[in-house]
Structure 1
């Protein structure tokens, strides 16, 4: 049996090479398969992640759109260069009554009031200036803006803005949120009223009065003017509460407040400081006589009856104390103290009076010390009891003032007190006399009232001139005797005496 021959060495070598190549190719295929599978899985995972991200983005976009379109706040964007809106949420209709299209077409001047525009542009210019200077932290700004509603009323809003940049870091737009703060403003007003106004009479309270007094003093000092503070205390108010109850008492205080305000200018302040006490501030008073006239007007209107619905009438009066800046005080505290003291001086002098502050002390002239006296005669009587009684009192007070004038150098405070007493009574008498003449339909009443005002004004001028030594004592006495007593009461007043004597 013959053995099979072995392959040649060259053939075996070639075989092994083929096997090696085949194994290498298989390995590469396997490696490629593994790489492919991994890439496939990675691409699949990235695709799924992308789909999830897109879904989330779409969801976020839907949520953002839902928020912007349904939020009570107005969300908007504006191009800085043009000042035009690039987006406005639909809620602007609820805020301002305009549609989105109408608002987008509006110039910036129609979006807010002129005062608000000045404030808003100022804040924007400041923010841009800080940005350009390198301060680029928080650009958020909060500004209160008044915006016009389509129906004409003004809507107060709080606007929160943030600067926005493009990809290159350049400022391009503003993102803003506008919120209606009408209810907040109403609440703030209620709180302010509780803090600064009397809840019963709606007049300013002590705190607001002191604020205004401080400003008025500063202004009077700067302009070298006077101001007047009046302390007003009601007489016979407690019996009203006791007889008719607190509800009627509250109504009476409200009625007094209304009457008081009607006697004042817009620039004046009437305040209730508690109970039945009031204070009136008169800034920019140029003549002392003006203060007397206002005080007497207030006293007179308070003394008029207050009719109740059941037919009863309430009768009260008031004591009014006057303090004048700078004569009676240079500070709020000094003026308040002087005004309060003057009010108590008015009470002590008989109530239902107007009294200018005098330094404490018994500086009045006793009746027995009067050396020069104007004597009342029966022939001076008019026939009207009330007018005659007041004329007698004017004679008495004029006599006191004449004597005080002669002793003014030694007792200046006595002169001032006597003068204020006469002028206060004269103003009261003139007001009462005019009411009586009106009841009798006196045809020359208007001219007679003008004479009264002229006398009061001249008296104040003469007093000031005497204090500053621009008028002699003799000239003042001549005014009292010749103009006030002889010229007016004994001559001018006689023109209407016939009205009363017809009734006798």
Structure 2
């Protein structure tokens, strides 16, 4: 019995040890699992906190981005390349164009920008896509100036910066763009341009812009066998007015001159102020001299009208206009400018307030056919008195006949004698009639003018006697007719009394 009892107790002890061992192992396992759980729990909490921090940062960034896009003066937008439709437009588009986001996203290309701007935008986009497809992904950023219609009807000048974006497969999917209002910048650029190319007082083109347009006009005329004209305009009696009434009045007068001048011109013409009271008008396309003279006379008459002064009294000025024609008077800018300036000074020397076309060699033109030399009468030579003008025209004709007969004197001696006698008689008769007319108008320089007539008649008599004695030099005869009679007297000295007739016409 005792033995059995002893064995039973031994088994119980063994069982107890086994249980204790199992419990111990389980305890150790539980402790290990608890440690692992605690560690995992700590890691999880750390990750949760990190994720929460990341989400909070993302939400903050989203708020900041939304604040920027909604409050930026620039318009931020995205567009799907395939459909060409906006996928996002920032609310600031309303401030830029007066349209809501919904209205803009529903607009067509024609409503988004002007045709010229659309062409620039599409060309820029096509270039970027072509470079991308060819493997060049280094630069997809483009800057384009776009004119966008505002809801109230005016155009808004914008600078649009675009960047291409692709998906993970490298396929282009969208465009991100920023549109910025550059209206004020454009105004500043225009102001700078105006300073460079326009006269600040009259707003007319300045010398620099005129020369640029003249160069283009000459090139165009040369290619198309066309013609053009330059008018040099200098104001008479401007300096005394400027000195007497001050620069403010002088400036106002110049501004009025500019406006009157422009009203006489076509849209394609250019009136430029080149300094002081000097102007140049470019007529890039003309048909004939008569058209140029008509415009020049229109300008002269417009500038000759009274100018209201700030003190209620009227101011009076006039203008001398010299004209150079392409290609007759030059094929280059330099030649035309030089000859136009010379024509203007010829106008001044002829009595002011007149139009003068440049005439090389006192308007004597060499002919190669039936007529060796010709004197051309111009409308600009008219005095305003019908009788004097008629006699001057006849004198031109008789002088031309005599010159050409002089060239053929040896072959047609009788015709030369007859032509000389006709000119002699006409000069004597004309001078007498002219003196009567000037006396009737109380011309103050009549005595001096009569003296000039007598000197010219004496020269004619001397030449006539030399002809009779067969001692006449053809060179001296032609020089007298051209330099003394026509150029020196009719076209210069006589012009001093032209204002008498113009003034008389005004009073009537």
Q: Same fold (TM over 0.5)?
A: yes
Please name the residue that 1:183 is paired with: 184
In the alignment, does 2:123 pair up with 1:122? Answer: yes
Which residue number in structure 2 is paired with residue 3 of structure 1? none
Q: Does 2:65 correspond to 1:64?
A: yes
SS of the residue corresponding to residue 285 of structure 1 reads coil
Q: Cα distance 1:235–1:80, how it changes in 2: closer, same or farther (>3 A)?
A: same
Residues 177 and 403 of structure 1: CA distance in aligned 2, closer, same or farther (over 3 Å): farther
Q: SS state of the match for residue 286, structure 1?
A: coil
**Residue-by-residue CA offset, 1:171-197 (whole Å, 9 max, x unaligned):** 111111111222222222222222111
Q: Say which one has the larger Rg.
A: 2
3-state SS of paired residue (2:135): coil
* Partner secondary structure for residue 214 of structure 1: helix
* Residues 418-457 of structure 1 aligned to structure 2 (within 5 Å): none
Contact 1:260–1:298 under 8 Å retained in 2: yes
Checking the alignment, whether the CA contact within 8 Å between 1:74 and 1:178 is kept in structure 2 is yes
Shift of 1:323: 1.5
CA distance, structure 2, for counterparts of residue 331 and residue 28 of structure 1: 108
- 1:111-168: CA deviation from partner (whole Å, max 9, x where unpaired): 1112211211111111111111111122111111111122222112111111122233
- Helix, strand or coil at the partner of 1:81: coil
Please give the alpha-carbon distance, in whole angstroms, between the structure 2 residues aligned to 1:253 and 1:397.
Answer: 38
1:446 maps to what in 2? none
Task: Give how far 1:16 is off.
Answer: 11
| Structure 1 residue 13 displacement after superposition | 13
Match of 1:207 in 2: 208
Q: What TM-score, normalized by structure 1, do the two folds share?
A: 0.69
On the 8 A contact 1:272/1:278 being kept in 2, the answer is: yes
Match in the other structure for 2:42: 41
Task: State whether residues 229 and 322 of structure 1, in contact with CA within 8 Å, keep that contact through their aligned partners in structure 2.
Answer: yes
In structure 2, the partner of 1:170 is 171
Residues 1:218 and 2:216 are matched in the alignment = no
Aligned twin of 2:242: 241
Aligned residues: CA RMSD: 3.5
CA contact (8 A) 1:267 1:283 kept: yes
- Secondary structure of 1:137's counterpart equals coil
For residues 127 and 118 of structure 1, the distance between their equivalents in structure 2, rounded to whole angstroms, comes to 14
- Residues 50-90 of structure 1: CA deviation (Å, up to 9, x unaligned): 11111110000111111111111111111111111111111
Q: Is the 8 A contact 1:268 1:283 kept in 2?
A: yes
C-alpha distance in 1, partners of 2:181/2:408?
69
Give me the whole-angstrom Cα distance separating, in 2, the residues matched to 1:392 and 1:309. Answer: 45
Are the structure 2 counterparts of residues 49 and 385 from structure 1 closer, same or farther at C-alpha, using a change threshold of 3 Å? Answer: closer
Which position in structure 2 is the counterpart of 1:319? Answer: 320
Look up the match of 1:302. 303
Q: Which moved more, 1:205-214 or 1:355-364?
A: 355-364
Describe the SS at the equivalent of 1:198: coil
User: Could you say what secondary structure the match of 1:60 adopts?
Assistant: helix
Secondary structure of 1:178's counterpart equals strand
Equivalence map 1:348-387=2 (5 Å) = 348-359=349-360, 386-387=385-386
How far off its partner does 1:279 sit?
A: 0.3
Give the Cα separation in 1 of the matches to 2:94 and 2:316.
Answer: 57
Aligned partners of 2:230, 2:141: CA distance in 1, in Å?
A: 48
- SS of 1:90's equivalent? coil
Per the alignment, residue 495 of structure 1 pairs with none
Instruction: Confirm or deny that 1:287 pairs with 2:294.
Output: no
State the partner residue of 2:436: none
Q: For 1:7-60, what per-residue CA distance to the aligned partner results, in whole angstroms no more than 9, with x for missing partners? A: xxxxx9999999999988777666655554444333332222211111110000
Asked if the contact 2:249/2:310 (under 8 Å) is kept, the reply is no
TM-score by length of 2: 0.68
Alignment partner, residue 143 of structure 1? 144
